[in-house]
Copies of this chain bind each other. A is one copy, B any other.
Amino acid sequence: MKVSFKNDYSEGCHPRILDALTKTNLEQQNGYGLDEYCVSASNLIRNKCGSPLSKVHFVSGGTQANLLVISAALKPFESVIAATTGHIYTNEAGAIEATGHKVNTIATEDGKLTVDHITAILDGHQNTPHVVKPKMVYISNATEIGTIYSKKELQSLYKYCNANALYLFMDGARLGSGLMASTSDLSLADVAKYTDVFWLGGTKNGALIGEAIVINNADIQSDFEFHLKQKGAMLSKGRLLGIQFNELLKDDLFFDLARHANLQAMKLKEALTAKGHSFLSETHTNQIFPILPNTTIDELSENFDFHIWKKINDSSSAIRLIASWATTDAQVASFVEALKRV
Q: Which residues of A are at the interface with B, using a C-beta cutoff of 8 A?
A: 3-4, 7, 9-13, 15, 18, 21-22, 24-31, 60-68, 71-72, 75-77, 79, 90-95, 97-103, 127-133, 203-204, 208-209, 223, 225-237, 239-240, 305, 326
Q: How far is the CA of A251 from the CA of B133 in the complex (A)?
A: 39
Q: How far is the CA of A225 from the CA of B131 in the complex (A)?
A: 11
The distance from the CB of A232 to the nearest CB of chain B, in whole angstroms, is 3
A12/B31 in contact, CB under 8 A? no
Inter-subunit contact B130/A92 (CB<8 Å): yes
Nearest chain B CB to A1 CB, angstrom units: 8
Nearest chain B residue, comparing its CB with the CB of A207 = B237
Contacts of A95 in B (CB 8 A): 229-232
A260 CB → nearest B CB, Å? 14
- Inter-chain contact B236/A7, CB cutoff 8 Å: yes
Residues of chain B lying within 8 A (CB to CB) of residue A128: 225-226
Additional A-B contact list (11), CB under 8 Å, known A3-B28, A21-B208, A63-B234? A7-B31, A9-B237, A68-B232, A76-B226, A77-B226, A77-B229, A93-B130, A97-B100, A99-B100, A129-B229, A133-B223
B237 in contact with A132 (CB, 8 Å): no
B102–A94 CB distance below 8 A: yes
Inter-chain contact A223/B63, CB cutoff 8 Å: no
Judge whether B25 and A11 touch: CB under 8 Å: yes
B129 lies within 8 A of A77 (CB)? no
A-B pairs with lowest CB-CB distance, top 6: A64-B232, A77-B226, A12-B25, A129-B225, A94-B132, A93-B229
Known: A11-B27, A209-B237. A230 touches B4 (CB 8 A): no
A76 CB contacts on chain B under 8 angstroms: 71-72, 94, 98, 226-227, 230
> Are A67 and B18 interface neighbours, CB within 8 A?
no
The one of B9, B21, B64 in contact with A233, judged by C-beta atoms closer than 8 angstroms, is: B64
Closest to A60 in B: B60
Distance of A15 Cα from B23 Cα, bound (Å): 11
Question: Within 8 Å CB of A64, what residues of B?
Answer: 232-233
- Please determine whether A26 and B93 come into contact, CB atoms closer than 8 angstroms: no
Q: Chain B residues near A62: list those with CB within 8 A.
A: 236
Tell me whether A203 and B131 are in contact in the complex, defined as CB-CB below 8 angstroms, given that A98-B231, A101-B97, A229-B93 are known contacts: no
Taking a contact as CB atoms under 8 Å apart, the answer to whether A93 and B226 are in contact is yes
A326 — which chain B residues lie within 8 A by C-beta? 26
Contact B100 A208 (CB under 8 A): no
A67 close to B97 (CB less than 8 A)? no
Task: Tell me whether A129 and B93 are in contact (CB under 8 A).
Answer: yes
B contact residues around A225 at 8 Å (CB): 128-129
Contact B129 A203 (CB under 8 A): no
A318 to B21, CA, bound (A): 35
Minimum C-beta distance from A65 to chain B (A): 8
- Across-interface contacts of A94 in B (CB, < 8 A): 76-77, 79, 100-102, 132, 230
- In the assembled complex, how far is the CB of residue A96 from the closest CB belonging to chain B, in whole angstroms? 8
